[in-house]
Amino acid sequence: MPTNLLKRAVKMNIQIIDESSVATLLNPANCFEAVRNVFVSMESAARNFPVIRENLGYEEAIYGFKSGFDPLSGALGLKSGGYWPNNAKHGLASHQSTIFMFNPDTGQCRAALSANLITALRTAAAAAVSIDVLARQNSATLGLVGTGHQSKFQLEAALRTRTFERVLVWNRSGRDIQAHKELAALYKAELVETDLRTLACESDTLITITSSFAALIESDWISAGTHLACMGTDTKGKQEIDPRISQRALRFTDEVTQSMSIGEFQHLTGDASITSLGAVISGKASGRESDRDITVFDGTGVGLQDLACAQIVLNELDQMNSRVEHSN
């Protein structure tokens, strides 16, 4: 940033927080708690504002905005960014985003945070919360559909949440997944690459994290008792599972209206009953009712989750600065 602009940002008291700073302050544990709390706060006063999500018509990119306000935590802000599928040629991750946080009392911008890691951690945390709330207690095999940038975060969050003996991975792109295997080993789980049908038939819990625009998982592959966390569908036309799975299942999501417009449940017809996960966590609605229920969580990604994690970073920074001031 040019010096004169940096001075101006400092004068306005805007904190500029890069990716490495976020990495020192945010982790799967505090992110899980933040996202779980957001599910609950969305059942009361917190609001997600309408999502803007558009094809740029340039570099095959999808770009948009997510924003919201949680009066309980004071988190007010927006995330700007999206998906650039050709970023590998630039040596960059496909998902790129920035979060801007504002003072709810004055409207002034408080901070600009690099949000790539925040997005990855909060997406994984949302799937993990759904597993914690909806998956069978005796789930032993985890299926992971997709091996892109987000998949390792999903794997770690799931393994932290439940004790899985085996992880089945579908690696369509043929990526090197040695890091996935090492991570699974840390949690004493065996990780095996396999085909989609085998993965879906043998997994008790599935996480789908792809950018697919066509169903990958067929209905007759899914057995009674399976939990599916569908995390990749966040745009009109995207789809990861056969809609007949959702028709057979108990359906849950982060935000019902968003799920029906840009999430996995956009592919359902008629008046489908969909329950917010926050209602289950807060005791307003029931979740899994038996070990034979199929449960589907449609994780479309809501702005309040990003803002809650950004708020953790700001709070941690405030505490660090306070400790420094007291030591001086």
Catalytic residues: 79
Calculate the alpha carbon distances from 186 to 155, 205, 206 in Å: 12, 19, 20
Backbone angles phi, psi at 312, to 5 degrees: -60, -45
| Rounded CA separation 304/73 (Å) | 10
Q: Is the dihedral of CA 191, 196, 198, 204 positive or negative?
A: positive
Q: What is the rounded radius of gyration, in angstroms, for the C-alpha atoms of the chain?
A: 20
SS (H, E, C) 37-64: HHHHHCCCCCEECCCEEEECCCCCCEEE
| Rounded CA separation 104/76 (Å) | 6
| Rounded CA separation 298/286 (Å) | 17
For 124, the enclosing helix (H) or strand (E) is helix 116-134
Q: In b/e form, how buried is each residue of 235-249, taking b as 16+ CB within 10 angstroms?
A: beebbbbbbebbbeb
264 Cβ contact list (under 8 Å, min separation 6): 230, 233, 239, 240, 241, 246, 296, 298, 300
| Rounded CA separation 223/280 (Å) | 23
| Rounded CA separation 253/265 (Å) | 9
3-class SS of residue 184: helix
